[in-house]
Amino acid sequence: MLGSNTARPGLGQHAGPASQIITGKARLAGVIGWPVSHSRSPVLHNYWLRRYGVDGVYVPLPVQPGTFEVAVRGLQAAGFRGANVTIPHKEAAYRLADVLDDSALQAGAVNTLIFQDDGKIRGLSTDGDGFVASLQAEGHAIRSGTRALVLGAGGAARSVAAALLRHGMDVHVSNRTAARASELASALPALGVVAWDGWENRLGDYSLLVNTTSLGMEGGPDPMFSPSLAQAGAGLVVADIVYVPLVTPLLAQARERGLATVGGLGMLLHQARLGFTAWFGVEPQVDDATQAHVLGSLRG
Task: Out of 81, 89, 90, 140, pick the active-site residue.
Answer: 90
**CB distance 202 to 230 below 8 Å:** no
- Residue 2: how many other CB atoms lie within 10 Å: 21
Torsion on CA atoms 192, 195, 199, 200, rounded to nearest 10: 180
| Class of residue 116 by CB neighbours under 10 A (exposed 0-12, middle 13-18, buried 19+) | middle
Q: Give bridge partners of residue 61 from the DSSP assignment.
A: 32
- The CA radius of gyration of the chain, in Å to the nearest whole number, is 19
**CB distance 274 to 299 below 8 Å:** no
Q: Give bridge partners of residue 192 from the DSSP assignment.
A: 172
Of residues 219, 270, 260, 263, the one with CA closest to residue 242: 263
**CB distance 196 to 157 below 8 Å:** no
Of residues 75, 81, 12, 87, the one with CA closest to residue 287: 12
Residue 90 annotated among the catalytic residues of the structure: yes
Cis peptide leading into 223, omega within 30 of 0?
Answer: no
- Which phi-psi region, left, alpha or beta, contains residue 90 (left: φ > 0; alpha: ψ -120 to 50)? alpha
Query: What is residue 148's DSSP assignment?
Result: E
Secondary structure element (H or E) that encloses residue 107, with its range: helix 102-107
Q: For strand 27-33 and strand 121-124, is the pairing parallel, antiparallel, or unpaired?
A: unpaired
CA 161 to CA 123: how far, in whole Å? 19
Active site (catalytic) residues: 90
